[in-house]
Structure 1
């Protein structure tokens, strides 16, 4: 996680430091994983958030168990991923509007004025990737991905870079929801491919990608459409695409969701792709996108 505190009067965010969550990871990652180990995706190697080895500190802060701290630009709620002694982080540098400009930008969206207080919007965002040395905290590389002019509004508690990237061999897959999906070569920092999958998130992106059997799997549960898609990890082309079950909801706001999928192997040896969403938990065949079963869990949302 990267967090920015922006001094009043600045038109764009100042550089931020890796906050306490990142500090904790840095302070514990070396003894827990070793420089040759990896934390390649959201919730770790198995997607369950469990670390089985190591002895992380239970207290940490500016003056306790701090290994290093590094200034980085932008704002992002995405988690760091680690491989080969390098930490990879995504970020969005926002071009901040004045309050009058913010209101005018929001009026151009489909949001009602009563929602404006809980929304944030930027004049533009610069999407970036940072490579940081795990042992020293030195910023090794900054990769400029793209600039998005007049991006959609997000919730004021969200960021434009909330989905966590995923490492797949020499590739780094970075997903920013409707703002773009990018595949980068970790060895040279060059862009391999990119895709744009437009979606109305309502309050910004949140679902992180996973890699399975050479496919980048994304849950795309927006307001106007809900579906799951698998992209070829090498080329970015679509392998399969499956619509979600029908939603019993009066508005698109109650159909959106932001979950990250997982793959399990059942007692029959069959791999199931489990995708939680609004109203439904659904199991799909990760190879084809065919639906195995669905479970209705009520009229919840998000």
Structure 2
């Protein structure tokens, strides 16, 4: 069977120069919560209206583009997922600057029909680009497209394909690896790719008694300082938990019932807003106060489970939280009470 080249299309909407130059270095932007200070952004567009440029992108990918300086980075896959690439475009023109094959594999692994082989969003620091392809591996490149290091040592089975995006904090690159067989969070030294710590997920005893896929999840974590100490908060199968960034030690956790959680947590109003579920495939937004150990009932401020999406992450804006169900229903809640507005 012949394989034809596949091209994605990246469209950059027109905006004021200051907004175009603003960095967007990770999944969901500078703070990881989808917030931006940019002004003058278009609120409608078509194939021609408010379009600065559009450019075909080699391969096929589902990662969000990330921006730093005059570069846009993303990932793509070719040869049915056996050739994985880091792609860089010029921000001003859309011209292709780099197309680097970073990983080749004889086994592309499984994926969901709505997923691809290049879905996790890259993350940028001042000098480097970090791209992640789930169990296929993680690669660090410099801004000229030269590979600095590569780590392909983590084996776990994500039967719907890689989805959780890497994040950075100080000198650490953090990965969430919630497969059906192994579940762990790992901190790599971002300069070398070596393991600083690796923390197995807990609280999966009930999931182990369900079907084999009941321990998998696909969420991207959020880092937030609490009482002067940074916490890494990540939803997983049957629970959400917070971890100490220095050691990986679990700090607190809250149970729920369900797996395949995707939405990224948010933080505001002294609360974490996390996506979990009240039963499998019936998703729920929880507002919780961080604590110690298993959260107490009074630390779970509210829960809302009507039309909560599976894949899209909620958006917290001051004292309102918005989400759009996978079927297209938009909801706005009072972020302090959980009541629908």
Q: Indicate the TM-score class for this superposition, using the shorter chain for normalisation.
A: 0.7 to 0.9
Q: 2:7 aligns with which of 9, 16, 22?
A: 16
Residues 30-80 of structure 1: CA distance to partner in whole angstroms, max 9, x if unpaired?
645343x31100000100111122122122221211111112211111000
- Gaps (5+ residues) in structure 1? 1-9, 96-121
Provide the residue aligned with 1:55 in structure 2: 40
Corresponding position: 1:27 with 2:13 = yes
- Gaps (5+ residues) in structure 2? 262-341
Q: CA deviation at 1:241?
A: 0.6
Distance 2:145 2:259 in 1: 41
Corresponding position: 1:40 with 2:31 = no
Corresponding position: 1:209 with 2:166 = yes
After superposition, the CA RMSD in angstroms is: 1.6
Q: What is the DSSP-based 3-state SS (H/G/I as helix, E as strand, rest coil) of the residue aligned with 2:213?
A: helix
Provide the residue aligned with 1:282 in structure 2: 241
Provide the residue aligned with 2:306 in structure 1: none
Provide the residue aligned with 1:231 in structure 2: 188
Higher relative contact order (CA 8 A, sep 6+): 1
**TM-score, structure 2 as length reference:** 0.72
Provide the residue aligned with 1:251 in structure 2: 211
1:17·1:72 contact (CA, 8 Å) conserved in 2? yes
Corresponding position: 1:190 with 2:179 = no
CA gap of 1:127–1:300, structure 2 versus 1, over 3 A, is: closer
Corresponding position: 1:67 with 2:27 = no
Distance 2:257 2:28 in 1: 26
Distance 2:231 2:28 in 1: 18
The structure with the greater share of residues assigned to strand is 2
Distance 2:223 2:50 in 1: 35
The structure with the greater share of residues assigned to helix is 1
Question: In the comparison of the two structures, how many residue pairs are matched?
Answer: 257
1:165·1:175 contact (CA, 8 Å) conserved in 2? yes
1:279·1:301 contact (CA, 8 Å) conserved in 2? no
Residues 76-128 of structure 1: CA distance to partner in whole angstroms, max 9, x if unpaired?
110001011110111001x3xxxxxxxxxxxxxxxxxxxxxxxxxx4x52111
Q: What is the DSSP-based 3-state SS (H/G/I as helix, E as strand, rest coil) of the residue aligned with 1:220?
A: strand
Distance 2:184 2:135 in 1: 13
Provide the residue aligned with 1:102 in structure 2: none
1:218·1:228 contact (CA, 8 Å) conserved in 2? yes
